[in-house]
């Protein structure tokens, strides 16, 4: 990030490798398990793959917001995506309005800081 400290929106734009598997349970039903191994505790499962992915994405965002809020640095195995819109992703994941607003404020602050640097 060229010497600039990472902000919440930067951490939320990091592409994590997704691991997924579909397994048969004891009762003969099928279950999809998904995880981001780079993020602690980021695992979800559901009978429907789309539901599992939505749960995982929600958990990824909540985990990163909690880590940054606690002053910890989430893992950054790859550089953040430049074209990612973390506010939209949080809304699509069904996160509460207060978390979406927190991400939006951080994104607005990052945009304002970038404009100041260009002057």
pLDDT tens by residue, the chain, 119 residues: 445 689 999 999 999 999 999 999 988 999 999 999 999 999 999 999 999 999 999 999 999 999 999 999 999 999 999 898 999 999 998 999 999 999 999 878 876 665 666 65
Domain ranges of the chain: 8-118
Q: Into which CATH architecture does domain 8-118 fall?
A: 2-Layer Sandwich (3.30)
Query: Could you tell me which of 73, 85, 72 has the C-alpha nearest to residue 1?
Result: 73
Task: State pLDDT tens for residues 55-67.
Answer: 999 999 999 999 9
């Amino acid at each position: 990030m060229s010497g600039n400290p990472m902000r919440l929106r930067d951490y939320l734009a990091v592409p994590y490798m997704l691991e997924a598997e579909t397994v048969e349970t004891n009762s003969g039903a099928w279950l999809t398990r998904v995880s981001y191994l780079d993020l602690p505790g980021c695992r979800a499962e559901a009978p429907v793959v789309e539901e599992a992915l939505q749960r995982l994405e929600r958990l990824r965002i909540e985990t990163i917001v909690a880590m940054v809020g606690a002053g910890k640095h989430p893992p950054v195995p790859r550089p953040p995506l430049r074209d990612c819109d973390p506010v939209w992703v949080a809304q699509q994941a069904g996160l509460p309005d207060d978390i979406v607003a927190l991400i939006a404020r951080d994104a607005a602050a990052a945009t304002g800081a970038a404009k100041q640097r260009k002057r």
